[in-house]
Amino acid sequence: MSQQSKRHRTGLRPSSRPSSRSSPLSRQPTVAPPRLPPAQDLAIHVLGNGTRQSDEFLKGVISHVQRHRLNWHLTHAIPQILEQLLLSAEPSLGGLRRPVAVIGFLTDPQLLRVLRSVRLPVVTCSMGTPDLPGLARVLPDDQGIGQMAARFLLAQGFRHFALWGRPLPGRTARFDAFRRTLAAAGTATTCRSFIPAADRKLDEDFLSFTGISPGPLAVFCHQDHDAAFVREFCFNLGLGVPGQVAILGVDDDPGICLRSEPFLSSVALPWNSLGRRAAEILHARLSGAEVASLTQLPPLRVVARASTGRVPSPDRLVEKIRRLIDQHPGRQWTLAAMAATVGNSPRTVQRRLHAAGMDLRRQLLNRRIDAAEELLAANHHTIDQVRERCGFNSRQAFYQAFKARHGCGPADWRSRSVG
């Protein structure tokens, strides 16, 4: 085995051509299939970045390869060595075979130029990779991430928000969707963006913004490393987390989230499913099919930890209603049923909820969908079982609720999220 690489050999039996069916999120311009000579053992180079996300992505790739018993020879690639190999006239270099395709985290701009020049089939999951001819991208859905983050923080009782971080060029959908979801909630909120490198009065501006609302500030960060920075930033300013500032990141990287004090909440992304989908797309390309140039998968869930402690309502009746909905989303909570449970008249309950800016039906529906997402992601129950446990009386109502939030039904959402 070469010191420059690790290899994973899969079964050598070729498989039948995979389905090229794509989800609604994948309807993008197509990438034409490459012209490849027949091969008994296809050398596929996998680009990683040494993170847990990269490991999960590779597991997804291997899962697809083993499931279909593909004749792929997977090799962990080092960008500089791969570049030398592609530019060499030799079929191998230092024991490494010239690949017929590349899959994984493509972040090196020089390697990207080389891959374009040799016209090698490439499927990447790197968010910063530009949309280029012949390149297939499989990415987390930024719009879904922003929507999920906003719904979670609103449900926790926050009404004062900040966005933290500098998105990559052309990658503003995450923050844009967060703002739109706040606006659509029908609740009075404030929201401001902070870009550390561009704000010379960052300390003063942040402290000033935290003071304009009687409640705590919820900061949605573009990535987990931004969230860790905000935690240290708040510590240096003497701001308590989560008492004065709540923090939510993206990627659920345990190396970051579980090394912070308090632990950081984060939006988990489906890296294993992204690996499987990327392998499926590359499989289709190598089989001669055209594939979408962009495929997006929705986020999995918000992993709630101590950095986003819930904001208690000053109205004890409202707080009791929120707890009942959280604990029992599957119950048929009409206004009359809720009033009877909390020992007040329906009119009183309606008036107190309205004063707190809370709509009973909307709160219940959002909590039911959240609970359904958790059960669907666990993949231990049928669609009907999930529907019944979460209080949806009909398949149509369940489908319409998911369609309104995700643009697809629960079965398609599970397929894209779990595989």
User: Which structural domain range is residue 239 located in?
Assistant: 142-269+302-308
- More reliable by pLDDT, 218 or 211: 218
Please tell me the total count of domains within the chain.
Answer: 3
Sequence-ordered list of residues with C-beta below 8 angstroms from that of 339, at least 6 positions apart, any chain: 345, 346, 348, 349
pLDDT reported for residue 358: 81
Q: What CATH code is carried by the domain that includes residue 108?
A: 3.40.50.2300
Q: Are residues 72 and 36 in the same domain?
A: yes
pLDDT reported for residue 5: 40
Q: Are residues 217 and 279 in the same domain?
A: no
**Can you spell out the DSSP letters for 313-355?**
-SSHHHHHHHHHHHH-TTS---HHHHHHHHTS-HHHHHHHHHH
Nearest to 360 by CA among 398, 331, 399, 386: 331
Calpha distance 149→206 (Å, rounded): 21
Report in angstroms the alpha-carbon separations of 82 from 51, 95, 278, 299, 367.
20, 12, 20, 31, 48
Q: Are residues 242 and 361 in the same domain?
A: no
How many Å is the maximal CA-CA distance in the chain? 82
Q: Are 45 and 75 in contact (CB under 8 A)?
A: yes
pLDDT tens for each residue of 45-86: 998 888 888 999 999 999 999 999 999 999 888 888 888 888
pLDDT reported for residue 374: 82
Q: Are residues 95 and 182 in the same domain?
A: no
The verdict on residue 232 lying in a domain is yes
Q: Are residues 119 and 218 in the same domain?
A: no
Domain limit, last residue, from 308, 333, 359: 308
Q: Are residues 321 and 365 in the same domain?
A: yes
The verdict on residue 265 lying in a domain is yes
What single-letter DSSP state applies at residue 162? E
Mean per-residue pLDDT, 171-198: 85
pLDDT reported for residue 234: 92
Instruction: Label residue 406 left, alpha or beta by phi (over 0 means left) and psi (-120 to 50 means alpha).
Output: alpha
pLDDT reported for residue 57: 93
The verdict on residue 1 lying in a domain is no
Question: Is the confidence at residue 357, as pLDDT, over 80?
Answer: no
The verdict on residue 23 lying in a domain is yes
Question: Is the confidence at residue 4, as pLDDT, over 70?
Answer: no
pTM for this model (two decimals): 0.76
Calpha distance 183→188 (Å, rounded): 8
Question: Is the confidence at residue 379, as pLDDT, over 70?
Answer: yes
Q: How confident is the model at residue 29 (pLDDT cuts 50, 70, 90)?
A: low
Q: Are residues 363 and 393 in the same domain?
A: yes
Mean per-residue pLDDT, 209-219: 85
Mean per-residue pLDDT, 292-321: 87
Q: Are residues 292 and 361 in the same domain?
A: no
Question: Is the confidence at residue 296, as pLDDT, over 60?
Answer: yes
What single-letter DSSP state applies at residue 34? P
The verdict on residue 43 lying in a domain is yes
pLDDT tens for each residue of 9-27: 443 333 333 343 434 334 4
Other beta carbons within 10 Å of 184? 11
The verdict on residue 2 lying in a domain is no
pLDDT tens for each residue of 151-178: 999 888 888 999 998 877 667 899 999 9
Q: Are residues 129 and 152 in the same domain?
A: no
Report in angstroms the alpha-carbon separations of 239 from 192, 242, 261, 263.
18, 9, 13, 16
pLDDT reported for residue 17: 38
pLDDT reported for residue 14: 33
Calpha distance 382→56 (Å, rounded): 25
Q: What CATH code is carried by the domain that includes residue 407?
A: 1.10.10.60
Q: How confident is the model at residue 198 (pLDDT cuts 50, 70, 90)?
A: low
pLDDT reported for residue 280: 94
Nearest to 28 by CA among 413, 295, 408, 406: 295
Q: Are residues 263 and 284 in the same domain?
A: no
Q: Are residues 133 and 187 in the same domain?
A: no
The verdict on residue 387 lying in a domain is yes
pLDDT tens for each residue of 77-108: 888 888 888 888 888 877 788 888 999 998 88
Q: Are residues 151 and 256 in the same domain?
A: yes
Tell me the pLDDT of the chain averaged across its residues: 83
pLDDT tens for each residue of 230-272: 999 999 999 999 989 999 999 999 889 999 999 999 999 999 9
pLDDT tens for each residue of 139-149: 999 999 999 99
